[in-house]
Amino acid sequence: MTPGLPSRAGTPPADWRDTRPPAGGRYSYAFLDEGAKREIRRRILKAAAIPGCQVPFGSREMPIARGWGTGGLQLTLSLIGPEDVLKVIDQGADDSVNAVNIKKFVTRVTGVAVTTDTAAATMIQTRHRIPEEPLQPHQILIFQVPIPEPLRLVEPSERETRRMHAEADYSRMWLYLYEDIVKFNEITVGARYPVLVNCRHLMDPSPIPRWDLAKLHQGEALFLFCAGREKRIYAVPPHTEVQPLSFEDFAFRVEAFAGRRCARCGSGGTYLDEVIDDATGRRTYACSDTAFCEKARRSCGAAEDPPTREGIA
């Protein structure tokens, strides 16, 4: 077990090392070499010790294009053990092309079990959503992050943003939000809404909807964020304060779904995607979290499908 990381089901013993023959016989276990894994784990420990602070790391070349989850994939491969159960989602869906391909690749190089059930997973890699089902202390949620710098909206210089973080000088971000209110009577920032972590560091929560921000606050699981192109790792440990920037006289608001329900499961308390029928133009709504929606549709007490081991033909 890596020191400092949460204990979870499926973690290999402390003396376990990646010395087994690689899957397929061509790569080390979990694709990355042991030196790369150790470096990434050290950066994760530093990021968890300073919540919300961006930690640089040596991003490796991966067999997928940059921008398609190379950062999140590197974290997953560095932490995953042979007894882990993996779940991968893309904007809430388990069956999107990106999610399916990442699952197949991780399965090929590790042989771990995969699942669509949030509760059964020990490690979840996600793009743009947090599962609706509450996460538990033994779980790790890994975010694919395209742009890790929250101040990029107001400052293009990397040197200047580093200075602003060091001095906790976030006045320009506050001014940006204030100007939004003056112009539009609303804060127009949707996904990537800036949050203050542990009352100190301004953080980009990745392009998750504002609906999901409350799940970061005082969460039970470890949240890890990684941007492969930008070579940055940051983290929100369990039971950490995470607050979206908000004015006293203009409260932070999430997306409104008043009076709307999922057309598949009937849920009215989840984040909904709008679906438009091309033929009729009729608008309906469906849960963004497809696994949660499918579970809600099942009859009470129905057993979940057991984890499966997927391979590549």
Any idea which residues carry the catalytic annotation? Answer: 52, 262, 265, 287, 293
What is the three-class DSSP state of 60?
coil
Pairing state of beta strands 113-114 and 85-90?
A: parallel
What is the residue-wise DSSP string for 12-49?
PPTT--S-SPPGGGSSBTTBS-HHHHHHHHHHHHHHHH
Alpha helices in the chain (DSSP H): 34-49, 70-79, 97-110, 158-166, 171-184, 213-216, 290-297
Residues with Cβ within 8 Å of 49's Cβ and at least 6 positions away in sequence, in order, are: 4
What is the residue-wise DSSP string for 196-212?
EETTTEEE---S--GGG
Alpha carbons 7 and 87: distance in angstroms, whole number:
18
CA dihedral 48→50→52→53, nearest 10 degrees, is -110
CA 272 to chain centre: 18
Side chain identity at 78, as an amino acid letter?
Answer: S
Q: Which phi and psi angles does 140 have, rounded to 5°? A: -125, 130
